[in-house]
Amino acid sequence: MTVQELILNFPEIPRDLHDEPLLAQYAETFGPMLQEAVNPGACSADYTPGNRYYLKLIGHMRLYMYGLSTKDKVMTKLQELIDQYQADPDGFTEELLTAESVL
């Protein structure tokens, strides 16, 4: 997935992140998961894999959009997620799909 596709699919990503090289790397790294990512409904009790992908991979940027986080924290989190995935792609995906907490 390109960064342009990511931004089109998730307009909630704040504009000041759009030109960040790290966001482009993030889109490329998590492209297949991001293509499946779906924002869960407000009353969701059981999350689908697409919901979990959304919450884990987009949730931090959404918090920033609402002013509940800082750009520095979001950028640090994006890098941490990339690093965790690159260290163990299968383990990262498995933990993401089975973890009690997604943020």
Catalogue the E-assigned strands of the chain: none
**Lookup: tokens for 53:** 């992908």
Residues in the chain: 103
Q: What is the residue-level pLDDT of the chain in tens, covering all 103 positions?
A: 999 999 999 999 999 999 999 999 999 999 999 999 999 887 767 788 999 999 999 999 999 999 999 999 999 999 999 999 999 999 999 998 887 665 6
In a domain, 26, yes or no: yes
pTM for the complete prediction? 0.89
Burial of 91 (0-12, 13-18, 19+ CB in 10 A): exposed
pLDDT at 62: 95
What's the gap between Cα 59 and its chain centre? 6
pLDDT at 90: 95
Q: Tally the domains of the chain.
A: 1
In a domain, 94, yes or no: yes
In a domain, 45, yes or no: yes
Instruction: List the domain range (segments joined by +) for residue 36.
Output: 3-98
In a domain, 103, yes or no: no
